[in-house]
């Protein structure tokens, strides 16, 4: 029996096509969540047509999403306490169900490492989806690069989203899935899905920034907002108000630097992708959105120093490295950035499920 451990919407979105395929083919699995993003997970499960988790190992920070480092210790203590309390039941359930026991984790979050560690404690195999991505700089992105390295050490099966990621792995069983499962997740979003916000009649861009290395640096954030304000005078920019982003803007006293940006609430997966599809470009610091834009063939500016992902670089994706000449050049004509290569024919989620079946885990 497989135990799937997740804690964030990013993990859940990329796991969804794998979990849906398992269910459609009659393969049972157990699921547990650490609920790092406890507010966002329930509506996303409904949107993705996935069942509620079998076990809630955490509930965020007092019932809300983790937002600051100070939220982590109590959340972590809760997760570990509940894991110890339910460990015997999990161990029995994994061995009583069909197939060999396995813990399946995804990505590069705190939950990725916790889930892999739980697999070791339960004495099962550990499989890591999206294994092998590397920036080779532990500071960028932090702590994701360290989380990935730790997960690679704990896992015995690595599902790498392409040959470059596979080449970064040196031990265990390495399975090249050809591409990232987000490719299959995007196909779940109906083509006619309408975002629940007012979309401009004229061409518009989307801005989604939320990483600490940007938000924690007042001067860098101020310069970024100034450049975006200038762009917003030329075309509408829909600015996603992530709670951490809004808090950082207020904390740094930069609200007056965002007066021309059309601030919209944080959206779940389907509405965000619908909004993105209708836009001219995405300005973001999200590695996950880099992948989404690559598979959608959508121009994207990734506003961060380094990325552990290769999708789209030199094609439809531009990495700013916080160089504002690069930012301005991108914004001057986003349409010139398009994907030049084709995509593999096979579904990465199909490849993962087929491998799980072949190895006797379901």
- Quick one: pLDDT band at residue 82, thresholds 50, 70, 90? very high
Q: Boundaries of CATH 3.40.50.2000 in the chain? A: 2-189+346-358, 205-266+280-336
Q: What is the pLDDT of residues 204-250, one digit of tens each?
A: 999 999 999 999 999 999 999 999 999 999 999 999 999 999 999 99
User: Which residue is associated with the tokens 């988790």?
Assistant: 53
Measured CA to CA, the distance from residue 289 to residue 277 in angstroms comes to 12
Measured CA to CA, the distance from residue 88 to residue 261 in angstroms comes to 52
Neighbours of 205 (CB within 10 A): 23
Q: Which CATH superfamily is domain 205-266+280-336 in?
A: Glycogen Phosphorylase B; (3.40.50.2000)
CATH code 3.40.50.2000 for 2-189+346-358: yes
| C-beta of residue 105 within 8 angstroms of C-beta of residue 116 | yes
Measured CA to CA, the distance from residue 140 to residue 304 in angstroms comes to 9
| C-beta of residue 181 within 8 angstroms of C-beta of residue 162 | no
| C-beta of residue 312 within 8 angstroms of C-beta of residue 290 | yes
pLDDT of 287 reads 94
- Quick one: pLDDT band at residue 103, thresholds 50, 70, 90? very high
| Maximum separation of any 2 CA atoms in the chain, in Å | 62
DSSP state at residue 31: E
Order of strands across the sheet that contains 29-33: 55-56, 29-33, 2-6, 102-106, 125-129, 157-160, 173-176
Is the pLDDT at 75 greater than 90? The verdict is yes
| C-beta of residue 106 within 8 angstroms of C-beta of residue 11 | yes
User: Which residue is associated with the tokens 């560690």?
Assistant: 117
Is the pLDDT at 130 greater than 90? The verdict is yes
Measured CA to CA, the distance from residue 69 to residue 244 in angstroms comes to 12
């Amino acid at each position: 029996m497989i135990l799937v451990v997740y804690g964030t919407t990013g993990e859940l979105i990329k796991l969804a096509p794998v979990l849906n395929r398992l269910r459609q083919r009659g393969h049972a699995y157990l699921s547990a969540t650490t609920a790092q993003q406890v507010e966002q997970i329930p509506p996303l499960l409904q949107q993705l047509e996935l069942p509620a988790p079998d076990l809630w190992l955490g509930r965020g920070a007092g019932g809300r999403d983790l937002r600051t480092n100070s939220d982590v210790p109590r959340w972590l203590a809760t997760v570990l306490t509940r894991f110890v309390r339910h460990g015997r039941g999990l161990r029995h359930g994994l061995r009583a169900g069909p197939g060999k026991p396995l813990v399946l984790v995804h990505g590069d979050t705190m939950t990725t490492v916790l889930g892999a560690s739980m697999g070791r404690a339960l004495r099962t195999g550990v499989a890591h989806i999206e294994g092998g991505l590397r920036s080779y700089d532990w500071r960028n992105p932090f702590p994701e690069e360290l989380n990935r390295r730790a997960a690679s050490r704990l896992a015995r099966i690595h599902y790498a989203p392409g040959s470059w990621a596979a080449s970064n792995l040196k031990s265990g069983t390495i399975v090249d899935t050809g591409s990232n499962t987000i490719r299959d997740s995007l196909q779940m979003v109906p083509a006619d899905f309408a975002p629940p916000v007012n979309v401009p009649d004229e061409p518009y861009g989307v801005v989604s920034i939320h990483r600490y290395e940007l938000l924690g640096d007042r001067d860098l954030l101020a310069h970024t907002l100034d450049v975006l304000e200038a762009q917003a005078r030329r075309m509408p920019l829909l600015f996603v108000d992530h709670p951490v982003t809004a808090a950082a803007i207020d904390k740094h006293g930069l609200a007056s630097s965002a007066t021309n940006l059309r601030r919209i609430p944080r959206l779940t997966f389907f509405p965000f992708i619908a909004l993105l599809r209708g836009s001219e470009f995405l300005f973001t610091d999200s590695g996950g959105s880099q992948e989404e834009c690559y598979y959608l063939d959508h121009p994207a500016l990734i506003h961060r120093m380094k990325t552990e992902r290769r999708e789209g670089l030199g094609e439809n994706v531009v990495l700013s490295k916080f160089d504002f000449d690069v930012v301005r050049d991108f914004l001057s004509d986003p349409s010139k950035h398009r994907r030049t290569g084709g995509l593999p024919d096979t579904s990465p989620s199909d490849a993962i499920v087929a491998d799980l079946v072949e190895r006797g885990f379901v």
